[in-house]
Amino acid sequence: MTTVIIGGGQAGVQVADSLRAGGYGEEITMVTDEAPWPYQRPPLSKELMNTAGAIKPLPLRPEMFFCDNDINLVRGTAATGIDRRRQTVRLADGQQLPYSQLVMATGARVRPLGIAGADLPGVFGLRTLEDAKRLESAIRPGAKVVIVGAGFIGLECASGLRALGCDIIILESGSRAMKRTSSPVMSEWFAEAHRSTGIDLKFEERIARIDTTPGGQQLVALSTLGNRYEADVVVCGNGVMANDTLGAKAGLDVDDGILVDSSLRTSDPKIVAVGDCARFPSVHAGTRARLESVQNATAQGRHAASTILGGTDAYRAVPWFWSVQGKNKLQIAGIVGANDRRITVGQPDEGKFSVMNFQRNILTSVESVNQPAVHMAARRALEHAILVTYDQAVEPGFSLVTATKAQQASAA
């Protein structure tokens, strides 16, 4: 009996940890194509950008963890094939690893820009420690930076590089910032916050091509509106794609992510998939979803381990996410719907407020800016099915923190 885990990121490491914590006594082998010891990605676009020249990985677990828990970690080697009939994984170095249980935790990769010039030196994605180091070495105060995409990575990167004294232009093809994940109120508030620091945010403008100036000293980003932006560096914050090709090649069901059931099993019962690479039936989204967050990767990692250990529960964890953009921390609990009814509570002018989102009359998600207590209350409300209605929330003086505490106390 051996569990092989492909991918040594947040989700893969959590599966290994939870298997051991749950008493799994068989072999565990984890394969990662990255050379460094497993590390956390969120700091790559946050604190580390603010400490130029000092990017150091924050480990997901201390190195001792792998030895202490008898986890055989193979670093710097990709899994290149899965033979489901023989139950083996082939590695790039020629090794064949037999498995009785396989975990796909392959994460995601930066979506290619798909335009001419995308492979010029000076054009960077930001997914790995190596990416962050390469980007960092190309940055100096006063550098002109074009960022493609006003999603979380683009905006976090923009504020970090702005703090380092760079000139920033963001080209966003959509009509607002963080459109996929946030309400219009939140998009507008963050766009203004970034503009107030001197970041130039352009919406409904798509990058069309990247050239160089005649001497080749600088990049020139050309947009679909015909504008030319000179840049020392172009950062691709245009989203990621699931690493699902290995799964697809092995014949697993795939649709922008490896499809799993509510126990996180793929179409092959010997294989589970977790984290950024998995598309799962989400009770909170009301449809199949693929989420890209630390919470999703760790909660699914725990759940997949319990499935391997014989559990049959459905995965139902409340999704939550955070983003740090300059001095502002955004925390989202639940999934923000495009057609939700919304109430803004608190003081947007002072940078302390929340947007409560409702489907019909029921609270389904809360976005909080610099209000950790409200975020925690939102998670409590959604996790414990504490009923919070739109009608309640519009009452003068309504506080989510007080309301959730009161309901929990009365239920105890």
Ligand X SMILES: Cc1cc2nc3c(=O)[nH]c(=O)nc-3n(C[C@H](O)[C@H](O)[C@H](O)COP(=O)(O)OP(=O)(O)OC[C@H]3O[C@@H](n4cnc5c(N)ncnc54)[C@H](O)[C@@H]3O)c2cc1C
Handedness of CA 281, 282, 288, 294 (dihedral sign): negative
Tokens of 283: 């009770």
Q: Which residues inside 56-95 make contact with ligand X, applying CB under 6 A? A: 78-79
Count residues binding ligand X (CB under 6 A). 37
Which residue's structure tokens are 């083996």?
88
Among 3, 5, 12, 147, binds ligand X (CB under 6 A): 12
Residue number with CB closer to ligand X (82 or 393): 82
> What's the Rg (C-alpha) of the chain?
22
Q: Which residues inside 254-283 make contact with ligand X, applying CB under 6 A? A: 275-277
Helix H or strand E segment including 106: none
Q: Does 239 bind ligand X (CB under 6 A)?
A: no
Q: Does 34 bind ligand X (CB under 6 A)?
A: yes
Question: Residue 130 — φ and ψ, nearest 5°?
Answer: -60, -45
Give least dist CB 55 to ligand X, A. Answer: 11
Handedness of CA 189, 141, 120, 134 (dihedral sign): negative
Q: Does 6 bind ligand X (CB under 6 A)?
A: yes
Among 4, 5, 11, 199, binds ligand X (CB under 6 A): 11
State how far the Cα of 240 lies from the Cα of 125, in Å rounded to an integer: 10
Residue number with CB closer to ligand X (236 or 374): 236
Among 16, 82, 97, 126, binds ligand X (CB under 6 A): 126
408 by DSSP, 3-state: which? Answer: helix
Give least dist CB 148 to ligand X, A. Answer: 15
Length reported for the chain? 412
Give least dist CB 196 to ligand X, A. Answer: 22
Among 66, 99, 321, 390, binds ligand X (CB under 6 A): 321
Among 3, 18, 29, 32, binds ligand X (CB under 6 A): 32
Residue type for 25, please?
Answer: G
Give least dist CB 187 to ligand X, A. Answer: 17
Residue number with CB closer to ligand X (65 or 390): 65
Q: Largest Cα–Cα distance of the chain, in whole Å?
A: 72
Q: Does 36 bind ligand X (CB under 6 A)?
A: no
Question: Residue 331 — φ and ψ, nearest 5°?
Answer: -130, 130
Which residue's structure tokens are 């003068």?
396
Q: Which residues inside 290-319 make contact with ligand X, applying CB under 6 A? A: 292-295, 297
Q: Which residues inside 106-125 make contact with ligand X, applying CB under 6 A? A: 106-108
304 alpha carbon, distance to own chain's centre: 19
State how far the Cα of 342 lies from the Cα of 345, in Å rounded to an integer: 10
State how far the Cα of 21 lies from the Cα of 40, in Å rounded to an integer: 21
Q: Does 153 bind ligand X (CB under 6 A)?
A: yes
Residues that bind ligand X (CB under 6 A): 6-12, 31-34, 41-42, 44-45, 78-79, 105-108, 126-127, 153, 243, 246, 275-277, 292-295, 297, 321-323
